[in-house]
Amino acid sequence: MQQKDLSFWQLWNLSFGFFGVQIAYALQSANISRIFATLGADPHQLSFFWVLPPLMGMIVQPLIGKWSDRTWCRLGRRKPYLLGGAIVSVLVMIMLPNAGSLNLSAAYVFLGLNAAMWFGLFSLILLDTSINVAMQPFKMMVGDMVSVRQKAEAYSIQSLLCNAGSLAGYLLPIFFTWIGIANTAPEGVVPDSVIWSFYCGAAILILCVMYTFLKVKEFNPEEYAAFHGIDLRKEGKKENPGFIKLLARAPRTFWTVGLVQFFCWSAFLFMWTYTNGAVAANCWNTADVVSEGYQAAGNWVGVLFAVQAVGSILWAIAIPRFKSLKTSYVVSLLIGAVGFISVFFIHDRYILFGSYFLIGAAWAAMLALPFTLFTNSLKGEHMGTYLGLFNSTICVPQIVAALLGGVLLKLVGGSQAMMLVLAGILLICGAFSVYFIEEKAEAPRPDAEMQSELM
């Protein structure tokens, strides 16, 4: 089968469910530090809570990739995992924000964490595990069903929907505050504005995932083999290598893009962890987590992340216009670095819009370009497993950054704004690392006939 173009709406349907998944991820990213600080976590402990999401991703996504590579059933290949992950995510999104409402905060202190924080911790593990299960199939379906020539466009659409979902997720708490739902609560209790944001996000998540589940028809084994030029007779005789062997055989792009990913995702882990504290200190002059100013800063973080999402949406449109993916990667990361470093010098909450708008350029590139560069270097075999393993280049840097966050915070005198300067420096290192990536040339444009029978 010749690799033919998909229509815009076929590409859109492949990724639309990502909009809902990203709302869940945005709510987690923007509110986890706020939730755990409200439950009683010390600022120097906050980065440790951020170890769990990438750790679960590193464990879960290679397994989902490997299992789904072998799954050929009536419901599809990747879609059963997509639906299962979404259902669990919805259930946990209802649990997590209620961690402070069970009167556990002062009881059962263990390893420095009260019972409410332990409840929140286990809810976070379940939430991130299920989000990872729901998220990975979208990346895999693009790798499965989109030609080399259209990969950049497909992942840019995914980036666009991802950032639109982020925009909605980041704005939900301030929206509920605006319509009169309480944004403050007794000590140790998460405000209702955050709780209702999670409820609303859960509803949107399941609706969007169901849309993709019903609209997309995946390849059967014969169609997949023909699309990727795989000989099924030879394929059946091949060994089934484990993760270690596949890593040993991974294309060089896996490691070079992974180096860039290390710097980028470390930077954004610091942003998610320390923006709340930095904005509260710089713009509201407070570090008191029960104060009205700190909770107002928490809402404002959602607004800033929404501005970042707008910047990402606009920059995602610009990325395909670059002649070279590497050039767009470098430019995007350097723009983001300027945004991060500028946060340290700004004490007006509105001027911070400019900083986070610039950060959005780096985020758009991180969502689209690594997967484009990497999947273009693959031949079709073990696509899901490789994409699951490639997710480790996202997870490992976050784990390292989370483990080192408290130490680095002490080294910079406890200034959470300085941690964002460090994030900017990391993005500059990532931009220089792009030089080592070998960019595969695009395949020639196929015939104009669209591949409408695939969906």
Q: How far is residue 185 from each of residues 81, 190, 289, 300, 318, measured CA to CA in Å?
A: 37, 6, 11, 17, 43
pLDDT top residue among 425 and 40: 425
Q: Which of 53-67, 100-114, 118-132, 201-215 has the highest mean pLDDT?
A: 201-215
Res 360: pLDDT? 92
Judged against a pLDDT cut of 60, whether residue 302 lies above it is answered with yes
CA angle 60, 269, 394 (to 5 degrees): 40
Decide if 258 contacts 247 (C-beta within 8 A): no
Residue with tokens 């900083």: 355
Specify whether the CB–CB gap between 264 and 362 falls below 8 A: yes
> Percentage of the chain surpassing pLDDT 90?
21
Query: Between residues 404 and 123, which one has the greater pLDDT?
Result: 404
Region 90-119: what's the mean pLDDT? 67
What is the rounded average pLDDT for all residues in the chain?
80
pLDDT at 319 over 70: yes
For the purposes of burial, counting CB atoms within 10 Å of the CB of 404, is it exposed (0-12), middle (13-18) or buried (19 or more)?
middle
The larger pLDDT score, comparing residue 433 to residue 71, is at 433
Residue pair 385/242 in contact (Cβ under 8 Å)? The answer is: no
Residue 452 — pLDDT band, cuts 50, 70, 90?
Answer: very low
- Check residue 336 and give its pLDDT: 96
Q: Kindly state the average pLDDT of the residues 112-135.
A: 74
Mean pLDDT calculated for residue range 409-437: 92
Q: CA-to-CA distance for 341 and 347, rounded, in angstroms?
A: 13
The CA distance from 433 to 437, in Å, is 8
Q: Torsions phi, psi of 104, nearest 5?
A: -105, -10
Q: What is the largest CA-CA distance in the chain?
A: 68
Work out the pLDDT band at 102, boundaries 50, 70, 90: low
Q: Residue 59 burial (CB < 10 Å; 0-12/13-18/19+)? A: middle
Higher-confidence residue of 105 and 229: namely 229
138 closest CA partner among 16, 243, 24, 253: 16
At CA 162, angle to CA 160 and CA 168, rounded to 5? 105
- Classify the phi-psi angles of 78: left when phi > 0, otherwise alpha if psi is within -120 to 50, otherwise beta: alpha
Instruction: Give ∠ CA 231-232-234 in degrees, rounded to 5.
Output: 70
Query: Does residue 235 register a pLDDT over 60?
Result: no
Reply yes or no on whether the pLDDT at 210 is more than 90.
Answer: yes
pLDDT band (50, 70, 90) for residue 420 = very high
> pLDDT digit string (tens) for 351-382?
999 999 999 999 989 987 887 788 777 765 66
Q: Give the residue-averaged pLDDT of 224-251.
A: 67
Instruction: Tokens for 291, please give them.
Output: 């104060």
Number of Cα atoms under 13 Å in the Cβ half of residue 423: 35
DSSP 5: P
Per-residue pLDDT tens for 42-96?
555 556 666 766 777 777 777 787 788 778 788 888 888 888 889 988 988 888 7
Per the model's pLDDT, the better-predicted residue between 38 and 68 turns out to be 68
pLDDT at 56: 73
Question: Is pLDDT at 10 greater than 70 in this prediction?
Answer: yes
> What is the C-alpha separation between 302 and 170, in angstroms, rounded?
4
> For position 38, what pLDDT does the model report?
66
The token pair at 257 is 């893009």
Q: What are the structural domains of the chain?
A: 11-440 (1.20.1250.20)
CB 270 within 8 A of CB 422: yes
> What's this model's pTM, rounded to 2 decimal places?
0.69
pLDDT of residue 355: 95
